[in-house]
Structure 1
């Protein structure tokens, strides 16, 4: 029962994250934000036999404020951007820098060896390199036939 409830919670959080990633983040001028949590923007591409995920995390100390984890075939990046100084008396005309919790969860191919995943951080970009298993890397894509309607 507890495992089923945990899976439902995971599914719900994945759905919420997917909804936040849609371009309709603020439909029709209405605020549609999740308070205190934003989506980390990423680039994901193949470099030979490796999946590369580059996450935009400027102004974050990776030693203190980033947790990178893999569980049940999902790569999860959790980060927190903190305000280091009090700014109430600064007299802001505009205050657009965001602070708070950031997160992103990405699916990984089946058979990924978690111990072979590496990560580095440089100039505000977290780069995660995931070696693709040979069984997935050499596989040709399956073509799907398209039926034409009458």
Structure 2
């Protein structure tokens, strides 16, 4: 196999690489999606985030993108010493929107570590158009 190095053949997929390197809990986050009447609701678990500084939510071309940065510090003080652990890093998640989703009037709110995005859905007047079949 000319031109393929040993490293190229054994490259791990991105999620597996992040898992083994230890930053898997920073890069990803859990979401739930459901429909509430004529609205798609996406809820994302994002604790320890300042939504005004560290969060960017966009809707474009049928995709909802949640992008942000986490900056979290844990301090441990004891009589034997002091330890600080920093967890930080950026994250992005793209969520495909269903047919009929509109970019107008999308709203987002953040409360108690949960981001909620509400995307209005346009109801189509009919379930489709019947296509006549001609005999030739």
Q: TM-score range by the shorter chain?
A: 0.5 to 0.7
More helix by share: 1
In structure 2, what is the equivalent of residue 69 of structure 1? 58
CA separation of 1:34 and 1:59: change in aligned 2, threshold 3 A: closer
TM-score (norm 1): 0.59
Unpaired runs of 5+ residues, structure 2, are 1-12, 129-136
Quote the Cα distance in structure 1 between the aligned partners of 2:71 and 2:21.
23
Q: Which aligned pairs between 1:1-150 and structure 2 lie closer than 5 A? A: 20=15, 25=16, 31=20, 38-83=27-72, 90-91=82-83, 98-135=87-124, 139=127
Unpaired runs of 5+ residues, structure 1, are 1-15, 141-150
CA separation of 1:59 and 1:68: change in aligned 2, threshold 3 A: same
TM-score (norm 2): 0.65
Q: Deviations over 1:38-71 (max 9, x none)?
A: 1221011111111110001111000000000112
Q: Which has the larger radius of gyration?
A: 2
Tell me by how many angstroms 1:32 deviates: 6.6
Tell me by how many angstroms 1:108 deviates: 0.8
More strand by share: 2
